[in-house]
Amino acid sequence: MAEWLNGATEYFSADGSRIMRDALTQVYDRQTMVGYMEWLISRGTPFSFFFIDVDNFKNINDTYGHIAGDVVLADVAHFLEKMVEGKGVVGRYGGDEFMLILENITDYSEIWDIGHAINMGLTMLEPRGMEGLTLTLSMGISRFPLNAYNFNGVVTLADKVLYRAKMKGRNCFIIYLPEKHAHINLKETREAKFSGMQLCSRAFGHLTAYGEDISVGIYNLFKHIVSYFMFDHICIQDRQRINFDAVYGLAEQREFSYIPRSAISRMIDKVGYANITNSATLNADWQQEFRQALDDQNIKSTFICEITAYDKRYGFIRVDTVKTIRIWQENEMATLIAMANAIGLILYYQKKKLEDLPLSPQVVVGEQE
């Protein structure tokens, strides 16, 4: 233990029998970290607690194998130790979850800088033997004694906002603030999460609830989808314009512009969608028009699916994330594709075009600043 935190140095050197390391990652194990937290609490020492989850870790195991998954966990643990060297202590909570304790660091801006550096730094890490794999983390952060006065309270609040970070698209961190997050009931929030089948059914219900007037259905559906998934932005692009423009209340910007159809068409695959996690990876010559359009709007991640029916191509549903990359989840993509297919079929049988629908003003939904 380095001599940078008086409390940490005292705790970790006082009694070696209580200090245990995780066999796989070599960071401290859960029991040791819990003991350290309780020791800090007993002394009234302020600290910040990071609850950290490796995004989509099951997919890594399924794609590369469990041995490769072990390598990822070890690399992430080593990365976290380097990122907080001289500032904090890292431990493994279990599975793909880690704990980070920053003693005597509770200032919001300082915590934000550390969280941002961790998120940005990890995307540059390539795990051994898995070149091309982008790793990301979701983090929930709470503070003692600012947010809670005991161990259970500190962990519960961090768990709440960790879950919110996952719902927000992963690869992000959320610092608990009572004015924003006190209302969250974790049990109710998790139970309210819909399956992919339920989401698709609800989408179809919105689109068909108003008979021939599909525009009202799309407007209400987009409000629901933006709020549920916390998308920064969703819209429909027809051949000439953006329509049904909706943004999330906590999104960092409101203005989005049309992306040329020619640029999008190059990106769409044979299945009818483009899944861009990180615009910085678009380096091929044929991708430059599309990348420039994203860069001009500060868009880091986007998912675009074509609205089609039989031989008719009407336009696109487009979802954007600003400044930070979003790890697109299967249920998100499946819901958006189902929405596009349903809209296409309705337009086909009603013999309408997207251009025939009235222009809807942008709507801001979800939590407000």
The predicted model gives 254-265 an average pLDDT of 94
Q: Write the single-letter amino acid at 293.
A: A
User: Does 301 score more than 80 pLDDT?
Assistant: yes
Q: Which residue has the higher pLDDT, 235 or 126?
A: 235
The chain-wide mean pLDDT, for the chain, equals: 88
Task: Give me the domain span that covers residue 322.
Answer: 196-365
Highest mean pLDDT among 4-8, 171-175, 302-306: 302-306
pLDDT given at position 313 = 94
pLDDT tens by residue, 133-169: 788 899 999 999 999 999 999 999 999 999 888 877 7
In this structure, are 183 and 236 located in the same domain? no
Of 190, 217, 239, the one marking the end of a domain is 190
In this structure, are 112 and 232 located in the same domain? no
Of 137, 168, 190, the one marking the end of a domain is 190
In this structure, are 82 and 100 located in the same domain? yes
In this structure, are 112 and 235 located in the same domain? no
In this structure, are 257 and 352 located in the same domain? yes
Report the number of distinct structural domains present in the chain.
2
Could you identify the residue written with the tokens 């998790």? Answer: 190
In this structure, are 110 and 22 located in the same domain? yes
pLDDT given at position 16 = 63
* pTM, full prediction: 0.70
Residue 357 included in any domain:
yes
Query: Model confidence at 2, in pLDDT bands (50, 70, 90)?
Result: very low
pLDDT above 70: percentage of residues in the chain: 93
In this structure, are 134 and 220 located in the same domain? no
In this structure, are 355 and 242 located in the same domain? yes
Determine contact, residues 100/50, Cβ cutoff 8 Å: yes
CATH code at position 127: 3.30.70.270
pLDDT given at position 169 = 76
In this structure, are 172 and 228 located in the same domain? no
Q: What angle do CA 298, 166, 250 make, to 5 degrees?
A: 45
pLDDT given at position 197 = 75
CATH code at position 209: 3.30.450.40
Residue 138 included in any domain:
yes
pLDDT given at position 325 = 81
Residue 204 included in any domain:
yes
How far from each other are the two terminal CA atoms of the chain, in whole angstroms?
41
User: Does 21 score more than 50 pLDDT?
Assistant: yes
pLDDT given at position 167 = 78
Determine contact, residues 347/217, Cβ cutoff 8 Å: no
Q: Which residue has the higher pLDDT, 56 or 92?
A: 92
In this structure, are 177 and 218 located in the same domain? no
CA distance 247 to 253: 8
Q: Which residue has the higher pLDDT, 258 or 128?
A: 258
Short-list 53, 147, 148, 156, CA closest to 100: 53
pLDDT tens by residue, 268-281: 988 899 999 889 88
CA distance 283 to 121: 20
pLDDT tens by residue, 238-258: 988 999 999 998 788 899 999
The predicted model gives 86-90 an average pLDDT of 91
Determine contact, residues 186/163, Cβ cutoff 8 Å: yes
In this structure, are 175 and 250 located in the same domain? no
Of 190, 209, 240, the one marking the end of a domain is 190
Residue 1 included in any domain:
no
pLDDT given at position 176 = 94
In this structure, are 179 and 261 located in the same domain? no
CA distance 340 to 321: 19
